[in-house]
Amino acid sequence: MDALTGLTCLLVGIALPLAALFLVLRRGMRQLAVAEAYGDVSRRLGLPVDTRGLSLQGYLSSKRLWVGQVMVGHGPDRRHITWAVLDLERPLALGLLIRRRGLSERVFRRARSPEVALPDAELERQLEVHGDDPRAVRELLLRGEVLSALDGMVTRWRDVVVTDQSVRVHLPAPLARTGELQELVDGLTRLARVLYEARREGSPAPGLEDLVPPYEALAAELGLSLVPCFPGLEGHIDGHPVSITPARAPRGYGAEVKLAFLEHTDTGLLVERQDAPDGYWSVGQDIQVGDEAFDDRFVVKGYDPQAIIELLTDDAREALLRLSERGVVSVDDVHLRVQGLPLAPESLREVVELAARAARGLGW
């Protein structure tokens, strides 16, 4: 018995470190496979490759894409989860939320808007849908390929979340196969596209209809086109694509102004307000530009600190500071975006002018 016990202890002593080594190696191999998949799909889509191998990110047309880990929760509840997020071309202005029934409230809070009954019994069993105008949301889901695209995503990925701003998938772990990751991106792209196309055929949410006449007048003044469904504006200012859209916030609707920059060398620029959460788009250390008011207001990041300081000219900084007094400003290499603005046409006119001035100051 003593010999058998000794042999057993010896075998266990050998097995435990081998098992630990196997787990470490397997985890390392999986991390390498994830990094390779991110790199492969980034190259396929023409996106910058994350040299750390931690994410797939960039712009598909005018829509931001992120696939990777994010930190959610507060205090002892903080934890990493893996998200795939694709922004919609512009907010849907419906107060929309679609999510799996029973999805953790710690990840996605329940909407206060009314629940909408789905016309598909199986989807109704799996998903809860909320919106400010149940009739408009139901009509949106019945247009074009929306239900088909939504059903395909839920069948394949399960934890799908759709809001006015984006389509998302909550993944149990990072995807380690190129084909699977590409399938996910293709599904997100299709769902975002059909949702936006269907929304363009709809009508404004309750309470926004009265904006149509004043927005039509503003469109004529700025040389833009009215988009009655939101209602919103779109067109070009000084050659820059510009859009104005109502956007849902917890306390009601505000406006969002987005200006796209002209083609230029990628700088990795990111400008956000100082108190903004350091989310999954934010990488790198804050760059101080030597302007006290600007440095106190914004966090600035980029590839080359000196080049970023020279890029942010006096005119650009002044325009961004004035914009930050009116709404929440964010700038990257592709867009200048101002959110949380009053819906009044008078205020939006000034914001568009300041956004164009900031673009001229950047030389973009």
Q: Which of 3-12, 50-59, 268-277 is predicted least confidently?
A: 3-12
In whole angstroms, what is the distance from residue 115 CA to residue 85 CA? 23
- Give yes or no for residue 220 having a pLDDT over 50: yes
State phi, psi for 51 to the nearest 5 degrees. Answer: -65, -15
In whole angstroms, what is the distance from residue 159 CA to residue 163 CA? 13
Amino acid letter for position 165 = Q
pLDDT at residue 19 in the model:
55
Residue written as tokens 């914004």?
Answer: 298
Tokens of 135: 């009739």
- Strands annotated E in 46-118: 55-60, 63-72, 79-87, 97-100
In whole angstroms, what is the distance from residue 138 CA to residue 147 CA? 10
Domain topology for 209-362? Yope Regulator; Chain: A, (3.30.1460)
pLDDT at residue 73 in the model:
62
Cα angle at 341 between 336 and 344, to 5 degrees? Answer: 125
- Give yes or no for residue 78 having a pLDDT over 80: no
pLDDT tens, 135-177?
999 999 999 899 999 999 999 998 999 999 999 999 999 999 9
In whole angstroms, what is the distance from residue 124 CA to residue 126 CA? 5
Cα angle at 130 between 124 and 132, to 5 degrees? Answer: 145
DSSP per residue, 154-177: HHHHS-EEEESSEEEEEESS----
- Give yes or no for residue 110 having a pLDDT over 60: no
Q: Domain ranges in the chain?
A: 55-199, 209-362
Exposed, middle or buried, 307 (CB in 10 Å: 0-12/13-18/19+)? middle
- Give yes or no for residue 22 having a pLDDT over 80: no
Task: Find all residues with CB under 8 Å of 310, minimum gap 6, and list them.
Answer: none
Nearest to 195 by CA among 160, 145, 255: 145
Instruction: Pick the more confident residue, 134 or 77.
Output: 134
pLDDT at residue 27 in the model:
54
Alpha-helical runs (H) found in the chain:
2-45, 121-126, 134-142, 146-157, 178-199, 212-222, 292-297, 305-311, 314-324, 345-362
pLDDT tens, 238-253?
999 999 999 998 888 9
In whole angstroms, what is the distance from residue 292 CA to residue 274 CA? 13
Nearest to 245 by CA among 98, 103, 348, 357: 348
Consecutive H or E run containing 232: strand 232-237
pTM of the model: 0.84
- Give yes or no for residue 7 having a pLDDT over 80: no
In whole angstroms, what is the distance from residue 250 CA to residue 259 CA? 24
Residue written as tokens 């001035």?
Answer: 357
